[in-house]
């Protein structure tokens, strides 16, 4: 299918919620998927302190949240999010020309149909 990416500011519950979509697709829906293709996290939590926000991309691979083939491309930047987001935003806006907004909300029905089709292709429906 398509590629997926995560940009995480900090960690904790929002990080887990975002990353949990991949195991749900794999285990609950039964759709063959390797995990997110791109991973970028800004956090001030380090793995050596034991904080869950500091969980590395390597750990996410073990749960099927990140594609192991893409692990070398995963980036964790140890920087406070209030510093990182303005820098990243400025860079992105300065580096690329303006483009039309994608407006994903109106496309939600088409996305649900595609997900349902994938689910039905990989699972037998019990009647």
Q: For residue 119, is it within any domain?
A: no
- How does pLDDT run across 6-37, given as a tens digit for each residue? 899 988 888 888 888 888 888 888 888 888 88
Q: Determine the length of the chain.
A: 127
Q: For residue 39, is it within any domain?
A: yes
Q: For residue 42, is it within any domain?
A: yes
Tell me, rounded to whole angstroms, the distance of Cα 10 from its chain centroid. 13
Angle ∠(75,72,114) on CA atoms, nearest 5: 80
Tell me: pLDDT of 124 over 70. Answer: yes
Q: 3, 15, 32, 65: which one is catalytic?
A: 65
Closest CA to 36 of 82, 85, 75, 9: 75
**pLDDT range class, residue 102, cuts 50, 70, 90:** confident
Q: For residue 124, is it within any domain?
A: no
| Domain tally, the chain | 1
Q: For residue 88, is it within any domain?
A: yes
What pLDDT is recorded for position 96? 92
The answer to whether residue 3 is catalytic is no
Domain holding 41, by residue range, is: 5-99
Closest CA to 45 of 83, 3, 76: 76
């Amino acid at each position: 299918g398509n590629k997926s990416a995560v940009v995480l500011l900090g960690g904790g519950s929002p990080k887990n919620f975002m990353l949990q979509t991949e195991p749900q697709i794999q285990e609950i829906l039964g759709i063959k998927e390797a995990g997110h293709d791109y991973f970028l996290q800004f956090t001030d939590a380090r793995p050596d302190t034991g904080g869950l926000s500091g969980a590395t991309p390597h750990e996410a691979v073990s749960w099927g949240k990140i594609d192991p083939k893409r692990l070398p491309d995963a980036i964790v930047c140890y920087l406070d999010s209030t510093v990182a987001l303005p820098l990243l935003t400025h860079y992105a806006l300065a580096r690329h020309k303006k483009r039309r907004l994608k407006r994903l909300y109106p496309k939600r029905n088409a996305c649900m149909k595609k997900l349902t089709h994938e689910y039905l292709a990989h699972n037998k429906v019990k009647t």
